[in-house]
Amino acid sequence: MTLSYHRVTETEVDPWELSVSPKNFEEQLQVLQKFRLLSFEKFALQQRAKNISPNSICITFDDGYGDNFLTAKPLLERYDCPATFFIATGYTNQQENFWWDELDAIFLLRQRLPEQLTVAVRGKQFQFDFTEARELTPAQLQQHRNWIYPKEPPTKRCQIYLAVWAMITPLSYEEKTNVMQLIKVWAGYQPNHLPENLPMNETQLQSLATHPLIKLGLHTVTHCDLSTASAQQQYAEISDCQETLAKNYGVLATTLAYPYGHYNAETLAIADKLKLDAAVTMKGKAITKKTDPYQMGRFHVKNWSGEKFERVLAEWIKIY
């Protein structure tokens, strides 16, 4: 079984349930001591050899947040837990938050926004009306803190947020950057560049590259939605990510996590062409000897206490 994490921190809003608090993460690691913990790389080789160790679990992290190094790594060390960090290499050393976190902060937390937002994308103009959602009341803020997708958006701001998120996701890195810059200026937003919120830097990745418990995997260069990219773009995103990890950190990465969990038939062919050992989705499904190595499922871990995590884990194990 493979587990999927993103962040070990506490955030004010978390509509995609990407964050697990340090307290809950430690409790979850305590629960996992009852199992055989393997690196995903070793697990992938076992799966290809059709000789999967019983009672085995892998821990993976997507994106490469600073909190993975600052908070998750010390806890993984304390409990001797191997883990794979899938890195979007284009964000390394950039003193900018990931775009989706800035979108959360602007639309779900900012007290006041202008009435109209107009964005031009690929020759098409998008207009969003905030007339009824300019001011964020304390009651609405609490709704935003409690809102988890795919529950019904509780406010107009949440509705617009989802529409903008869907508009931005398939764009290229340059297009995303330009659109987000426009939105930040429009909102008068000044990001808070806390180290735990930023992508990991080169020094941190250098430390992980030689760490006995940590492996680095591929997450494309720009966190690209592979399912909407051309075959040529997909190949460049994956192979360039692999080349960067090899050249800069001495890591031959042979495992891939699809950003957003999205991929298509061309993606699978590229993974095979690059001779990757395995690639993981975001689908919570069992991995068996018959599983396509480029469509391995992962179970998304949420901000559960150790007690709740143990109950959920027992349900996941039944799938096997």
- CATH architecture designation of domain 2-95+195-319: Alpha-Beta Barrel (3.20)
The pLDDT score that the predictor gives to residue 319 is 76
Report which of 55, 5, 1 is spatially closest to residue 25, judged by C-alpha positions.
Answer: 5
- Give the N- to C-terminal CA distance of the chain in Å, as an integer: 9
- SS3 state at 23: helix
- SS3 state at 37: strand
Report which of 31, 16, 8, 52 is spatially closest to residue 296, judged by C-alpha positions.
Answer: 52
Query: At 299, which helix (H) or strand (E)?
Result: strand 299-300
- SS3 state at 112: strand
Q: What is the pLDDT of residues 256-280, one digit of tens each?
A: 999 999 999 999 999 999 999 999 9
What is the chain's alpha carbon radius of gyration, rounded to the nearest angstrom?
20
Render 87-101 in DSSP notation, one character per residue: E-GGGTT--S--HHH
Q: What is the pLDDT of residues 81-139, one digit of tens each?
A: 999 999 999 999 888 999 999 999 999 999 999 999 999 999 999 999 999 999 999 99
- Residue ranges, comma separated, of all CATH 3.20.20.370 domains in the chain are 2-95+195-319
Instruction: Give pLDDT < 70 ranges for the chain.
Output: none
